[in-house]
Chain A
Amino acid sequence: MYCGIDLGSRHVKIVLAEGNQITGFHKYDTVEFYKRYGYKEDDKLVVDFRGLGLPDIQPGSGGDRLVTTGYGRNTIKIRGGEDIPEIKAHALGAAWQTGLQDFTLLDLGGQDSKVVLIRNGRVTDFQTNDKCAAGSGRYLENMAAVLGISLEELGGCRKNPVDLNATCAIFGESELIGKIIEGSPVEELAAGVNYTIYKRVKPMLLQLAGPVLVFTGGVAQNRALGELLEDELQVEVVVPRYPQYNGAIGCCIYGGI
C-alpha cells in the first residue's frame, strides 16, 4: 500500500493507493491530528493510523510505502516516512492529475502561495510567498467569518468587487468592517476579498506565466478566483479533480504508484 501525507497548516491530507489505483482520500484538522492521533517517540512522530480510521500502515519491512510533505515535515519527521519538498510533491501531483507536462502551477493552501513552472514534467522555476500569508486560505476563512458567509458562498462572488487595500490580513478585517458600515453589499465585499487574493498572487504568476495554469490547494475550490485568473490573465485554468489532495497524491506518485 502507498500512503501520501501532506502536513498542511490547516489540514492534514492523507491519500492511500494500491497498485496504480488511489483507494482513499482523508482530511483531518491539523491541530486535532497532532493532538489526538500522533505522539512523539525519539524525535519522530508516530501516527495512530487505526485511530484515524485508516488501515494500519507498516512502512519499510511491512511492505508499505509512506511519503510525506508539507509545512510540518520540517518540524517533525513521521516515523517510517520519507519526506519530499512541497513543490516537488505538488508538481508530481498536478502532472499526474492533469496528464500535462508543460504548465504553470498555482497552489494556494492554508498559508502558502506557490507558483511553479513545469516544463517536460520537471520543475524549472518557482516562487512562493515568504514573510506574509495574506494571500492564502486562512485569509479567506477569516474574511468569510467577518462577512458571516461560508467559504462556498464566498467562492460564488466575483461581480463589482469592492476595493480593499490593507497590506495586512488582520487590518484587512477592520477595513472590511468599515466597508460593511458604509453599506456595501456582502456579495460585492466577498468579490473584493477574492480580488485581493488575485492581486496578491498576480506578480508571482506574471513572472512564471504560461498558456495553461493548473490551480490546486484548498483555495482552488473558490470558483470566482478561478474565473478571475482566466479572465485577467487570459490563460486556460485547469482545476484538477482533487485540488486539495494534490500534494498527498504527489507523495503517492513519488512513492511509486
Chain B
Amino acid sequence: MDNRVGITTTVPIEVVYAAGVTPVDLNNVFITADNPQDMVEEAELAGYPRNICAWIKGIYTTVVRNSDIRRVIAVTQGDCSNTHALMETLHLEGVDIIPFAYPFDRDRDMLKLQIEKLMQAFGVGWDEVNKTKKTFDKVRAIIRQIDELTWQENRVRGFDNHLWQVSCSDFNGDPGKFAAEAAAFLDRARNAPAIGIPVRLGYIGVPPIMTDLYDYLESKGARVVFNETQRQFSMPFDTDNIVEQYSLYTYPYDIFRRLEDIAREKERRGLHGIIHYAQSFCYRQIQDLIIRRQLKVPVLTIEGDRPLYLDARTKMRIDAFIEMLK
C-alpha cells in the first residue's frame, strides 16, 4: 500500500493514520510551495478555466507534480462541487480517488457509513480507529490551549493561531512530532509578553490564500483572536465518539450551525468585528448575505483570488474597517 494519501480538506484522518498511511493536506503543500502562483498557472495551461478557485488549481498541480501521491481522498459533499471535476482530471492522470461525503443534513447514520467505507478502503477496524482518536485527542488538547492563550491571555499572534490549528487537518504528516512542537510552542507562549493590540477580530471563512493578512492587520492595530474554520480543523469538541466528533464539526454542513458557533465565540472572545474571507469564484460568496444578515457585529468581506499577498484595494478596505472599529 502507498504510504501517502492526499486529502482535499479535513477528513477523518484517524482512519488514515490507523492504517499506517500518512495523510497529506494538499492545500498546505500548495500554499507553502516555493511559487504557488506558478502552480495556479500550470493548471490553467493544462486547461483549467481562469474563473475557477485558485485552491482547486493549486491542488491539481500539487498532485500532478508529486508523483508519490497516487491516491487522494476527495470530499465530494460538504466542500465544493469543483472538487468533482478536480478528481476527474486527476483520475485522467492516473490518480486513484477515494470519495468521502459529509451528509448535508448531518445524518449520523450516513456519516457513520461514510467513515466505515473509508475504513474499508484502508483496511482498518473500529478498535484501531478509536485508539487513534484517543491519541489525537491529546494532540488536539495542546492546540486548544494555544487557542485559549490567543484570546484569553493575548500571548499568541493571529498567524500562529491560524497555523497551528490549520495544520491539524493532517498534523503535518507526523502527529507525534507535531505534538512535541506544539507543546514547545505552548511553553514559550505561556511566558511571552501579552500582545497589546486593541482591536479584536474574528476571521471566518476558508483559510486565506494571502499569507500576509495577519501581519498586515497587526500593523494596522487589529489582531485576529478567532480563526473560525481553522479552529474547526482542530476538532474542539468534548466527545469520545468519532462519528459525533465529525458531526459536530461545522465546516462541511449548513451555514446556520456555523453561525451559531461564530456568534458564541464572538461573545466569549469579545470580538469588535469580523473579517469574512471568501475565495473568488467560490459558492460560499453567496453565503455572505446570510452572514451579514445574521451576525450582529461589523463584518468586512474580503475576496482573494491568487496567492500570495494582499492587493492594494483589499488593504484600503481593511484600513477603513479597522479605522471604523477603533
Q: Are A and B associated in one complex?
A: yes
> Residues of A with Cβ closer than 8 Å to B?
71, 74-75, 84-88, 122-126, 128, 130-131
A181 to B303, CA, bound (A): 38
> In the complex, are the beta carbons of B305 and A74 less than 8 A apart?
no
Q: Does B323 contact A (CB under 8 A)?
A: yes
Residues 302-326 of chain B, each 1 if its beta carbon lies under 8 Å from chain A, else 0? 1101000000111111011101100
Chain B: number of interface residues, binned into ranges = 10 to 19
**Residue B270 at the chain A interface, CB threshold 8 Å:** no
**B interface residues (Cβ-Cβ under 8 A, vs A):** 280, 298, 302-303, 305, 312-317, 319-321, 323-324
Complex contacts, B321 vs chain A, CB 8 Å: 126
Which of these, B280, B303, B312, B323, contacts A74 with CB under 8 Å? Answer: B312
Given contacts A86-B320, A87-B323, contact A131 B305 (CB under 8 A): yes
Choose one: B280, B312, B316, B324; the contact of A131 (CB below 8 Å). Answer: B280
A20 → chain B, closest Cβ, in Å? 24
A75 CA / B298 CA spacing, docked (Å) = 27
Other contacts beyond A88-B323, A125-B298: 12, CB < 8 A: A71-B313, A74-B315, A84-B323, A122-B324, A123-B320, A124-B324, A126-B320, A126-B321, A128-B316, A130-B302, A130-B303, A130-B314
Query: Which of B280, B302, B305, B316 is close to A86, meaning CB atoms less than 8 Å apart?
Result: B316
Q: How far is the CB of B206 from chain A (nearest CB, A)?
A: 17
Contact B280 A87 (CB under 8 A): no
Given the known A-B contacts A71-B312, A74-B312, are A128 and B317 also in contact in the complex, defined by CB atoms under 8 Å?
Answer: yes
* Docked complex Cα distance between A123 and B312 (Å): 21
Q: Which residue from chain A places its CB closest to the CB of B310 in the assembled complex?
A: A74
Residues of B within 8 A of A126 (CB): 320-321, 324
A81 to B: closest C-beta gap in Å: 15
Query: What's the Cα separation between A84 and B313 when bound, in Å?
Result: 14
Chain B residue nearest in CB terms to A90:
B320
Interface of B is mostly: helix
CB distance from A251 to the nearest CB of B (A): 14
Chain A residues within an 8 Å CB radius of B324: 87, 122-126
Pairwise interchain contact A130-B313, C-beta atoms closer than 8 A: yes
Point out the residues of chain A lying under 8 angstroms from B298, CB to CB. 125
Complex Cα–Cα for A85 and B302 (A): 16
B305 / chain A contacts, CB cutoff of 8 Å: 131
Identify B320's interface contact among A75, A88, A131, CB under 8 A.
A88
C-alpha spacing A74/B315, complex, angstroms:
8
Max chain A CB contacts within 10 Å: which of B298, B305, B315, B319?
A: B319
**Known A85-B316, A86-B316: A123·B280 in contact at CB below 8 Å:** no
A125, B320: Cα distance in complex, Å: 10
A-B contact pairs, 6 of them (CB 8 A): A74-B315, A85-B319, A86-B320, A87-B320, A87-B324, A128-B316
Specify which of B298, B316, B321 lies most central, judged by the most chain A CB atoms within 10 Å of its CB. B316
* Chain B residue with the shortest CB-CB distance to A75: B312
Instruction: Please give, as numbers and ranges, the residues of chain B lying within 8 Å of A123 by CB-CB distance.
Output: 320, 323-324
Question: Which residues of B sit under 8 angstroms from A128, Cβ to Cβ?
Answer: 313, 316-317
With a cutoff of 8 Å between Cβ atoms, the chain A residues found around residue B323 in the complex are 84-85, 87-88, 123
Nearest residue (CB) in A for B292 is A207
CB distance from A80 to the nearest CB of B (A): 20
Residues on the A chain within 8 Å of B319, using CB? 85
User: Which of A75, A84, A130 has its CB near the most chain B CB atoms (within 10 A)?
Assistant: A130
Q: Which residues of A contact B317 (CB under 8 A)?
A: 128, 130
Contact: A71 with B280, CB < 8 Å?
A: no
A74 touches B320 (CB 8 A): no
- Shortest Cβ distance from residue A160 to the other chain B in the assembled complex, whole angstroms: 33
Q: Which of A71, A122, A124 is close to B316, meaning CB atoms less than 8 Å apart?
A: A71
Task: Report the bound CA distance from A148 to B316 in whole Å.
Answer: 34
Q: How far is the CA of A75 from the CA of B315 in the complex (A)?
A: 11
Task: List the A residue with the shortest CB-CB distance to B220.
Answer: A85
Give the one of B305, B312, B315, B324 with max A CB within 10 A.
Answer: B324
**How many angstroms between the C-alpha atoms of A3 and B305 in the bound complex?**
37
Complex CA distance for A71 and B317, rounded to whole angstroms:
11
Q: Which residues of B contact A131 (CB under 8 A)?
A: 280, 303, 305
CA distance A124 to B325 in the complex (A): 9
Q: How far is the CB of B172 from chain A (nearest CB, A)?
A: 33
- CA of A128 to CA of B305, assembled, Å: 17
Q: Which residues of B contact A124 (CB under 8 A)?
A: 324
Complex Cα gap A135–B300 (Å)? 21
Closest residue of chain B to A125 (Cβ to Cβ) is B298
Task: Indicate the member of B303, B313, B323 with the most A CB atoms within 10 Å.
Answer: B313
- Least Cβ distance of A36 to chain B in Å? 23
Contact at B320–A85, with CB atoms within 8 Å? Answer: yes
**Once the chains are docked, how many angstroms separate the CA of A124 from the CA of B273?**
12
Give A130 to B315 CA distance when docked, in angstroms. Answer: 11
Distance A87 CA – B313 CA, assembled complex (angstroms): 12
| Chain B nearest Cβ from A30, distance in angstroms | 14
Question: Within the complex, what minimum Cβ distance (angstroms) separates B279 from chain A?
Answer: 12
Q: Which residue of chain A has the shortest Cβ distance to B303 in the bound complex? A: A130
In chain B, what residue has the closest Cβ to A207? B292
Task: Report the separation of the CA atoms of residues A181 and B298 in the bound assembly, to the nearest whole angstrom.
Answer: 48
Which residue of chain A has its CB nearest to the CB of B302? Answer: A130
Distance of A65 Cα from B280 Cα, bound (Å): 40
B321, closest chain A residue (CB): A126
